[in-house]
Structure 1
Amino acid sequence: MKKILLLLTVFSMVFTSCDPLEDIYEEVDANASGIVGEVVYTLTDEDYETLDLSYGSFNSEDEAKEALPGFLSGKYPVWGKGSAALVSYDLYVGNAFSVDNYTLSLEDYATSGSTLLGFEVTATPADYLADIITSEYDEANEGDYVSAYYDQYTGSVFTVTPEVSLDETLDYGTVSGDLTTISAGTWVNHSGAANELMYAAEGLTMADYPSSNVGGALEISTAGSEDVNTAISPELTSNKVYSSALIKLSEVGDGTYFFHLMEEEGFSFSARTGAKSDGNGKVLFGIGASSSSLTYGTTAYDLDTTYLIVASYEVETGISNLYVLTTVSDTEPASPEATSTGNSGNSANKIGIRQGGGGPTALIDGIRVANTWSSIMSNETLEDETVGNKETYNAIYTYTGGAWALPSDNGFYSLTDVDFASIGIENFGSSTSADDYLPAFLNLKFPYALEGDVLNVLYKYVSSSSGEQIRGDAYTKTAGVWMAHESTTVASLQLAHDGANWVPDNTIKYELVDADYTLIKDTYGENPDFAAAVANLDTYGNISTFNWTDEQIDTVINTVINAHFSGMEEGQKFAITVFVYNGSAQNVVYRYVLNGDTYVRD
């Protein structure tokens, strides 16, 4: 208002002063902080954009303290000293707890005496995991979790020199015909009508597969009955045998095997690989370790598409695994498409191709047999390696009481595969949010949970970028519903204008109520130094500046603040509204700041 009055004065001086504006503008500038405003404000989506906060929240109170003064200066450019703003904003507080996914290393397994990338079959992983996690996470917060992935061998482990026993590229010229004739005895009939398994002059290809894009392919048909084989050299009679081939199926039936390992004499077949229709125009692949009854996988594959199939047979245990790949993989996948257990002790002397009822019509090319996965995928000279079946496991530990330990059942739950099956999915992911399923699941799982109960829930989450990992969140039973922890909360920051800038202001505003005036009378009524002052308060219900000294007012205000606000930090400010009489009865605001153990006027 003073600026307006001063500027209006210009018109009465403009014709009587040689330079009337200079003095007036100097006075206006000297009182630039004279316009006082007060606002309670909540940031909008547009405000966050203005502040370059794309996620719509601050990451810390310090970040808000740094950004909001400039924001308020732009929004209220004419406000000055004494102005106040209480700004509400979204504050990112993070997850309820931290979950780290950790995969054990060779060094970790060495703590158990293992020289392998996995615990040996005789080891008890729980004896070592807590110490391994402690070594890796020597600093942690109470309630943090670590999900440890580790491998353990299920049987014997072998050290072998990678070697290829068969590399059949089917390079038999550019003229199609029956395979046994065109291969000049490399492939021989061992069952069925002769000359029905054909050679196709055009082969199959897959990038980086070593037996690809050379020569032709063999062709099997649902109408054929001839079965053929070719010799493996050197023969494989121990440890683990891998066989592979490129395959492109154009037709499938009810299912039978078409690709297998053979012994020298008789029909002791191993790792029988087959295919059948899934009933919807796609293909299911299966394997039988030593039986014509196959175990089929659940993945539906396309017809007229080239795949790389890899089958393994462990001589000691009789376990066979089948992998179906769309690209070459340098390492053996953790999970096969299908697994079967059959007779142990079979040797691998030949590779066999079978045409039978219910079998497919297909092209087969790039047939390999080797003693390691690596030598299936490469013709290079490879270093010795360890071969053996192992399983991958997951163990969850929590940091509690200053140490890593298995979590207790109280306040913690980890979803199992059975739990996921009960809700009709295999895991959570980008299209299957945990929050869409867990509230209902937890109500069923914990029907007697009480209002306010908190449960830390961990679960399997799979994404295309990170693969499988363990994630989790805290859920609280609220009004009968399990509610997930909110990573963003509403916070507020009080700011004041100091005459030059907006600054964060921790001032607490409080207005004395009847109980406070009663507290003053009860506390100081018997004090002779306050006799007249308290008598005035008792009579008129206010604090008269004619009867109360500043020191007395400060003393009783300290009493009131301490009664309501204990444990304040140094520098805490208060704006206390008091009903006073200073010529007229009115509310007056007294400002205090904590200095040592006393609130002094600010």
Structure 2
Amino acid sequence: MLKLTSKNLTMKKIYILLLLFIGATLIGCDPMDDIHEQVNDQIDSEGALADKSIVLTEDDYGFLGLSFPNFNSEDDARLLIPDLLSERYPYYGKNSSINVIYDIYDPIRVKLYEVTSQDYSAIGLEEGYFTSSSQVYEALGEIFPQAESGDYVDLQYRTVAEEIPYEINAEDFDLIGEKLGSDYPDAAPSAAQYSNFDRREGRDAYWDNDMILEAINVVLEDNFEDVTNQIYNVSYAIYDGSAGTESMTVQFNGNEYVAFGGTSYQISASDFDEIGSEFAEKFPDPASNAADYSNFDRRDGRDTQWTDAMILEAVDFLLNQQFPNATDGSKFAVTYAVYTGSAGTEVINVVKTDGAYVIDSNASTATITTRNVYAYTNGSWGRPFTLDMEDYEAMGQSYPNFSNEDQALYRIGIYLGMQYPYAEEGDVTAVAYDLYSSGETSTEYVNYIFEDGEFNVVPSTRTASLQFGLNDEGVWVPDNTIRYTLTGNDFATIASALQDKYPDPVSSMLRYNNFDTRSDNGAYWSPDMILEATRIVLNNMAPNAEVGQKYVVTYAVYDGSNTTNSISLIKNEAGEWVINE
């Protein structure tokens, strides 16, 4: 919209249009679009007051010296766009306003965040760690309440140390023989030769528990990063007159791997089948679900939900089945699969007391600090769909990565259609894949949206807008002014607040939806009264507006005829709306 400042300007426009039309008739080559453009250019040069919106073109970006038709950041847009406006509109007058629509390069940025003690407390975890994936998602919702679809967070947090199983293999026994050969000249070579620990006491090749723990340190240090408090259940071959296996649960204490707690036990798929049979009558829906999916459903309110008490009962049954000779005081750390909307695991520490397994209140829960990337899509947080070797092979890759980004994005889009055949229009899927380039492999993240029956990459550019105003010095500056016209609802809001204070003016205002500005009339609204009324509307409409926010409010008036006036307000440091001079 272009507002002219005088009647003469309107007449001049007519005059110019007439001359151009006559010229076009005589010459017969310029189309009418060119004529309108010439007219508008002439008007723009006459000091008009602008209130308009423009969309930047590829040529505009080129004029600003940009290689691509977008800005790298909003700060760049704020810095560069004024040069374009000064060049294009050199004669616009003070208080002109132009809303500029442009493209901004907005690739996925993974934000690193470390969960604080306050974050844990906010969801009731005073102990300061997560025990399930659902708690992680709940915390993310509290930490990032304004998350938008496609946002990513690299979250660092404390969680229960999930036990990692590891079996010492032949290569590991060779390593033990090499590293411990000087300390145990008979036992170490025997282990390397036979790929087992000789457990026959009195033999030169005998391995006691402390020696085996030392060997486990050698193996784990070679195979894993040292993660403080991480727990491993290490199994290994032995020979005690016949071949067999043993296991030892260890934990990294920050310096070395040491023996840890009670006996570790992982509930297997066959165990879940037994639980399903045992509790089929007592917990029919949860038991059937556990057997079908080999996990405990932990979603609140579901018919298939397993409560803490129910899980403890299932663990008691299972351990009594598996360890019938265990005595009172026997301790177990039991790990099991759960479903909370996504797959996860939990650990329960129990001790046998009076023949039954109860929660071991004295058990020290092992926690570790870990990091995982999460994405916000379709209204909730979750882990990105992360490609593994099978996925790469299914897409024709020989290695667990791509070496060409365009090829990766094309193939992943097709593959998602195979993985999610029932996707609905608008569904967004976050994906993590590995890209090999210049001798290095990096993890890349990309979002896909399901549109018109296929998964399409969400582009790395987005459309944004900034409003610019022309200040007293003739410089275009970013302008946060919001232009607003009072409505009938606004007049009702004013009436509710001021009807007792200004009964006659309010009565007139409600009847005509305007302010009577005739000073000799009983319904008169003075400038101060209008300012007071406008403040009421803004406080009701924008109670959380930031300091420095500007509004130009237009309102209907009656001064002998129906017309409009405007008032410009700005929120000051005291949080009050004042006249913006």
TM-score, normalised to structure 1's length?
A: 0.43
Relative contact order, higher structure (CA 8 A, sep 6+)? 1
Which is higher, the Rg of structure 1 or of structure 2?
1
Which structure carries more helix by proportion? 2
Which structure carries more strand by proportion? 1
